[in-house]
Amino acid sequence: MKRHLILYTIDRAVRFLLWTKGELALILGPLVSGLVFDAFVIGCVWTGIDVWAIRQFKRRLGEGLLKALLYWFFPPAKQFKGWPPSHIEHFVG
C-alpha cells in the first residue's frame, strides 16, 4: 500500500506581507488614488471600508465563492482549451 502526501500549500494564494493580490489591490488602490487626487483622508476611510467588507465577505461566504464570482464576471482574457467558458455553471459527467 502506497501512502501519498498531499501538500496543502499548493493551492494557497501567493501573499505579499499579509495580503493576497486582490486584498493588496483593495488596500493600495484607494490609498494611492487618495494621494493622487489630494484626498488622503477619504482614501484611508475607503481602504478601511474595503478591508472590513472583504473580511466580512470571506467570513460569511468563504473564499471559494469570491473566486467563482470573479471568474464569472471577469473571465480570463486568454482561454485555455481545458477551461469551460464562464457562462457554463455546471459540469456534466
Q: Which domain holds residue 37?
A: 1-77+85-93
Q: Report the chain's terminal Cα–Cα distance, integer Å.
A: 29
Q: How many domains does the chain have?
A: 1
pLDDT by residue for the chain (93 residues), tens only, comes to 667 655 566 666 677 788 878 788 888 999 899 989 999 899 999 999 988 988 888 888 876 777 777 777 877 666 666 666 666 666 555
Specify the pTM. Answer: 0.56
Contacts of 91 (CB under 8 A, 6+ apart): 84
